[in-house]
Amino acid sequence: MTKISEIGEFKLIETLTEKVKLKNSSTIKGIGDDAAVLDYGYKQIVVTTDLLVEGIHFDLIYTPLKHLGYKAVVVNLSDIYAMNAIPKQITVSIAISNKFTVKATEEIYSGIYLACEIYGVDLIGGDTSSSVTGLTINVTALGEVSKEDVVYRNSAKKNDLILVSGDLGSAYFGLLLLEREKEVFKTNPDVQPKFEGYDYILERQLKPEARKDVIAELKKINVKPSSMIDISDGLSSELLHICKASNVGCKIYEEKIPIDASTQNIAEEFSMVASVGALSGGEDYELLFTASIKDFEKLKNNEHFEIIGHIADESEGKIIVTKDGSEVEIIAQGWDGIKE
């Protein structure tokens, strides 16, 4: 197994990037010069970046390197889609211990390239450094959108419908399961982890997808959301971001929050309420958006998303109606709050 220290930084970059083929006409110059060159013509460009730090955002004990590379890209693309934009390019910067093998870094990049393939983006550059404190991956994504299509968080209006794509909470319970099996493994390394039957929630945690299809569907049915955000920190926290930015209140219904049957099952196994994972868990990377009530007919009964409530006047507060009918103020517990 070749160690990174044996081949050095330049050879490593070459090894990792030699197969890059550019796909997008907006990518004029990719890897290989002091900077990449892009030409977006008359479009607007959206830019986002995310930092993944070992021990904070991922645990190498149960995170396959290929999945890690894939997820590092996807979480950024999710942010681009949340602007109603189309991702086109990424840069990837890594800080990695010299003790890592070249093969291990190639594993990370195989996940990065898979995401590039599936989402049609070009890897156009990055930076590489050695590290003494674990692995860090930073991905920056760029996307394009026309001025008429861009969707912000601050434009939700009273009476707008509130919708979410997919289902929520699964990634959080996937994490709880991984952490549980890690503890079992730490006390008894001979015991095999119990992962059978949990494929869906594990995949949601380890290999999430960005909702490219939801953006395409909204275009297809000719609906422009009045506001949008991606769900990286739990429904509560994201909804409060929209309400705050738009100076509005909201009312959502617990029973309308889409939760997969397998999420429901594992929540019961952990003696938890599944919707708590949906509201306060994280990393679902679904889209939360609002749309005019005029679009109701186009939006109802669509398999891509669920109507979970409506925007209210700011004075009415931010309310969730629980399954037993009581009205509770939504608080942003967020990811970190329930992680302990």
- Among 24, 26, 31, 71, interactor with ligand ADP by CB under 6 A: 31
> Closer CB to Mg ion, residue 39 or residue 127?
127
Q: How far is the CB of 91 from Mg ion (least distance, A)?
A: 11
Q: Which range of residues in 11-19, 55-63, 153-161, 165-173 is near ligand ADP by CB under 6 A?
A: 11-19
The pair of structure tokens assigned to 212 is: 């490219």
Phi, psi for 78 (deg, rounded to 5): -55, -40
Position 128 contacts ligand ADP (CB under 6 A): yes
CB 281 within 8 A of CB 236: no
- Which of 69, 111, 125, 169 is close enough to bind ligand ADP by CB under 6 A? 125
Nearest C-alpha neighbor of 173 from the set 272, 59, 64: 272
- Cβ 128 to Mg ion shortest distance, Å: 7
Residue 252 pairs with which residues in a beta bridge?
A: 309, 320
Residues 126-165, interacting with Mg ion (CB under 5 A): 127
Draw the binding track, 32-51, toward ligand ADP (x: CB under 6 A; -: no contact): xxx-----------------
Spatial contact of 204 and 172, defined as CB atoms under 8 Å apart? no
How many of the chain's residues bind ligand ADP (CB under 6 A)? 15
When CB distances are held under 5 to 8 angstroms depending on the partner's kind, the choice from ligand ADP, Mg ion, none that residue 31 binds is: ligand ADP
Distance of alpha carbon 335 from alpha carbon 142, whole angstroms: 26
Q: How far is the CB of 64 from ligand ADP (least distance, A)?
A: 19
**Which of ligand ADP, Mg ion, none lies near 163, with the C-beta cut-off 5 to 8 A by kind?**
none
Distance CA 241, CA 82 (A): 13
Minimum CB separation of residue 9 from ligand ADP in Å reads: 7
For residue 93, list its beta bridge partners.
127, 138
Least gap, CB of 127 to ligand ADP (angstroms): 5
Q: Which residue is nearest to Mg ion (CB)?
A: 127
- Identify the residue among 39, 59, 127, 316 touching ligand ADP (CB under 6 A): 127
Binding map of ligand ADP across residues 82-101, x = CB under 6 A, - = no contact = ----------xxx-------
Helix (H) or strand (E) holding 305: strand 305-312
What token pair was written down for 262? 């397998």
Nearest alpha carbon to residue 244 among 332, 338, 165, 150 = 332
Q: Name the minimum Å distance from CB 126 to Mg ion.
A: 8
Query: Where in 188-227 is the site for ligand ADP (CB under 6 A)?
Result: none
Nearer of residues 117 and 327 to ligand ADP, judged by Cβ = 117
Does the protein bind ligand ADP through residue 17 (CB under 6 A)?
A: yes
Q: Tokens representing 306?
A: 């669920």
Rg of the chain taking only CA atoms, in angstroms: 21
Backbone conformation region of residue 53, classed left if phi is above 0, alpha if psi is from -120 to 50, else beta: beta
38, β-bridge pairs: 27
Please give the structure tokens belonging to residue 125. 């550059």
Of the candidates 148, 162, 141, 178, which has an alpha carbon nearest to the alpha carbon of residue 43? Answer: 148
Query: Interface with Mg ion by CB under 5 A: which residues?
Result: 127
Query: Interface with ligand ADP by CB under 6 A: which residues?
Result: 13, 16-17, 31-34, 92-94, 123, 125-128
